[in-house]
């Protein structure tokens, strides 16, 4: 199997490398606000609640595996579903339609980019998140590493 810059080899498939995104930064800021409220404020219960809630969400975000896998030998793309009982959606390379990139700007500065993959399967169109990044740099080059 080949080495790609933004794809991580996992068995016979590749998973997409994760990047720091805007929601990660916001949760870390909330964590520090909760610590500050707990240590220096009069609202100790609120600080404990904010710290515990953000730690729970941060742990779930870190432990969550990549939901998007590319299997080049089978020429398939697997997308894990959010529900536990559902099997992963599996798309052929021929079902792939296009990439889309949404960028959120603040004062002309890109603060979050999300890369989507659009699939046409059995007459239905579905759109799945491939990668997110803080800014535009890493997310833009992710699909270019798929080319043969």
Q: What is the pLDDT of residues 19-33, one digit of tens each?
A: 777 777 888 899 999
Q: How far apart are CA 107 and CA 69, in angstroms?
A: 35
Q: Is the pTM of this model over 0.75?
A: no
Closest to 140 measured CA to CA, from 96, 112, 101: 101
pLDDT score for 52: 92
Q: What's the pLDDT at 57?
A: 84
How far, in Å, CA of 50 to CA of 89, rounded?
Answer: 35
The SS3 call for residue 39 is helix
User: Using CB atoms within 10 A of its CB, is residue 1 exposed (0-12), middle (13-18) or buried (19+)?
Assistant: exposed
Residue 49 and residue 128: Cα distance in Å, rounded?
A: 33
Per-residue pLDDT, 144? 47
Question: Which residues of the chain register pLDDT less than 50?
Answer: 144-145, 148
For residue 54, with 0-12 CB atoms within 10 Å meaning exposed, 13-18 middle and 19 or more buried, which class applies? Answer: buried
């Amino acid at each position: 199997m080949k080495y790609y810059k933004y794809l991580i080899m996992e068995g016979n498939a590749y998973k997409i490398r994760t990047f720091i995104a805007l929601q990660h930064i916001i949760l870390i800021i909330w964590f520090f606000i909760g610590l500050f409220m707990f240590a220096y404020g009069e609202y100790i219960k609120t600080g404990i609640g904010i710290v515990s809630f953000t730690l729970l969400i941060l742990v779930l975000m870190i432990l969550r595996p990549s939901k998007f896998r590319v299997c080049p030998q089978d020429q398939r793309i697997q997308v894990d579903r959010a529900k536990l009982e559902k099997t992963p959606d599996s798309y052929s390379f021929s079902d792939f339609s296009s990439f889309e990139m949404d960028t959120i700007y603040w004062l002309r500065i890109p603060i979050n980019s999300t890369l989507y993959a659009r699939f046409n399967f059995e007459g239905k169109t579905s759109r799945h998140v491939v990668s997110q990044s803080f800014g535009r740099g890493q997310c833009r080059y992710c699909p270019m590493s798929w080319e043969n």
